[in-house]
Amino acid sequence: MSDKYIIQVKNLTKIFGDGVEIKALDGVDLDIERGEFLAIIGPSGSGKSTLLNQIGILDTPTSGTVLLNGVDVTKMSDKERSRTRNKELGFIFQYHHLLPDFNALENVMMPLLISGIRSSQARDIARKVLDEVGLGDRMEHRPNQLSGGQNQRVAIARALVNKPSIVIGDEPTGNLDSKASENIYELLRQLNREHNQTFILVTHDERMAAKTDRIIRLVDGRVAENSINSN
């Protein structure tokens, strides 16, 4: 594998169901470059989230391979998959899934504490990341004291705090109004450029997808379009 690609998906197939089978992915091939800012779009049921789950090592395919840094993650043990997710991947979802009884700082610290970093060090790291996403003055606020856009920034900080090489977003702005959505996309793009992290974003928002480096359009579990944006 060339160092150019951080992820290579080869002939990926995912079938659900017993008796009546549903082919969610149907022979998908996809190469993703290091530092790329990529959008995956398509109608509901096209296989977007299923593909994201395969790339994010959250599920295993029926057939095919997913290479991350040249290593086939489909052949990893559960322990290896968990360790790789914690080290290499950050996740941002449509709903922020913050812990309601913890403030912003404590929510962002959580992945660091889980990985074994001591509390004082985790606190310092989390503070820096919250500053970076523009929430330096909101660290002590709980989720119910923050706006939707601010909560999503906390979720982004939590996804970035372990310095993953790949950040995966499943409709990261789907629960926000248009202005907040645009602000979040601008923040993600800024972080992508500053840290050269790979961002893979599933979205229904064609306007936001047009701001990425490349669009992958899925239809019926297949890649129907693979186009470079001229930004």
Using 50, 70 and 90 to split pLDDT, how confident is the model at 2?
Answer: low
Contact assessment for residue 73 and residue 81, using Cβ atoms and an 8 Å cutoff: yes
pLDDT value of position 1: 44
Residue 61 pLDDT more than 50? yes
Question: So what's the pLDDT on residue 190?
Answer: 86
Q: Determine the Cα–Cα distance for residues 229 and 115; give it in Å rounded to an integer.
A: 37
Q: Which pLDDT does position 149 carry in this prediction?
A: 84
Q: Which two tokens stand for residue 66?
A: 């997913």
Q: For residue range 7-31, list pLDDT tens digits in order.
A: 999 999 999 887 778 889 999 999 9
Q: What is the pLDDT averaged over residues 52-74?
A: 92
Confidence of residue 68 (pLDDT cuts 50, 70, 90): very high
| pLDDT attached to residue 6 | 94
Q: What is the mean pLDDT of the chain?
A: 88
pLDDT of residue 72: 93
Query: Per residue in 85-126, pLDDT tens?
Result: 888 898 887 767 889 999 999 999 998 888 889 999 999 999
pLDDT of residue 186: 86
Exposed / middle / buried, residue 12 (Cβ in 10 Å: 0-12, 13-18, 19+): buried
CATH topology of domain 36-48+76-228: Rossmann fold (3.40.50)
Q: What is the pLDDT of residue 122?
A: 94
pLDDT over 90 for what percent of the chain? 44
Residue 162 has pLDDT above 80, yes or no: yes
DSSP secondary structure string for all residues of the chain: --TTEEEEEEEEEEEE-SSS-EEEEEEEEEEEETT-EEEEE-STTSSHHHHHHHHTTSS--SEEEEEETTEEGGGS-HHHHHHHHHHHEEEEESS----TTS-HHHHHHHHHHHTT--HHHHHHHHHHHHHHTT-TT-TT--GGGS-HHHHHHHHHHHHHTT--SEEEEESTTTTS-HHHHHHHHHHHHHHHHHH--EEEEE-S-HHHHTTSSEEEEEETTEEEEEEE---
- pLDDT attached to residue 115: 81
The per-residue pLDDT for range 193-205, each reduced to its tens digit, is 888 899 999 988 8
pLDDT of 142 over the 90 cut = yes
